[in-house]
């Protein structure tokens, strides 16, 4: 099982539509193939593998307007980065949700305000 993390909290997976799966090794032709999917799930092999953040950013820069989901063993500390990269939500295993309850994710939910650029501008 898994838990979906959004800015509003933990939720079960309610997606029933078509889903395009991408791995961190996806290339330009994979991104092109995914462009029309209503939802793309990008799999992270581990919390130390940041290639999924790059894929999300590329998809958004190419104009992808659908739903983007990061899936894998991400940590609460990475939530703000995932949102800034373009992900709408994060899918985590139940074990991570048990170790890092919603309040730890919620502390990073205001992802627009807590980036280094905002701190440099003095607006954080």
What pLDDT does residue 111 have?
A: 60
Of 91, 96, 105, nearest to 40 by C-alpha is: 91
Number of domains in the chain: 1
Burial 50-83 (b: 16+ CB within 10 A, else e): eebbebbeebeeeebeebbbbbbebbbebbbbbb
Give the SS3 label for residue 11.
Answer: strand
Domain that holds residue 32: 2-10+19-121
What pLDDT does residue 107 have?
A: 81
What pLDDT does residue 63 have?
A: 95
Cα angle 45, 106, 61 (rounded to 5 degrees) comes to 55
CA dihedral (39, 74, 86, 77) positive or negative: positive
What pTM value is reported for the model? 0.86
The pLDDT averaged over each successive group of 10 residues in the chain (124 residues) is: 91 93 91 93 91 95 96 93 94 95 83 61 62
State the Cα–Cα distance between residues 107 and 120, nearest whole angstrom. Answer: 20
CATH number, domain with residue 107? 3.40.50
């Amino acid at each position: 099982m898994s838990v979906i993390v959004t800015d509003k909290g933990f939720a079960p997976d309610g997606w029933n539509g078509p889903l395009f799966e991408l791995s961190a090794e996806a290339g330009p032709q994979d991104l092109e193939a995914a462009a029309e999917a209503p939802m793309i799930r990008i799999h992270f092999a581990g919390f130390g593998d940041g290639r999924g953040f790059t894929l999300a950013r590329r998809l958004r820069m190419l104009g992808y307007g659908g739903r983007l989901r990061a899936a894998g063993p991400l940590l609460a500390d990475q939530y703000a980065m995932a949102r800034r990269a373009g992900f709408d939500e994060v899918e985590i295993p139940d074990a991570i949700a048990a170790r890092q309850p919603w309040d730890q994710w919620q502390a990073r939910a205001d992802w627009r305000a807590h980036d280094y650029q905002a701190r440099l501008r003095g607006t954080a």
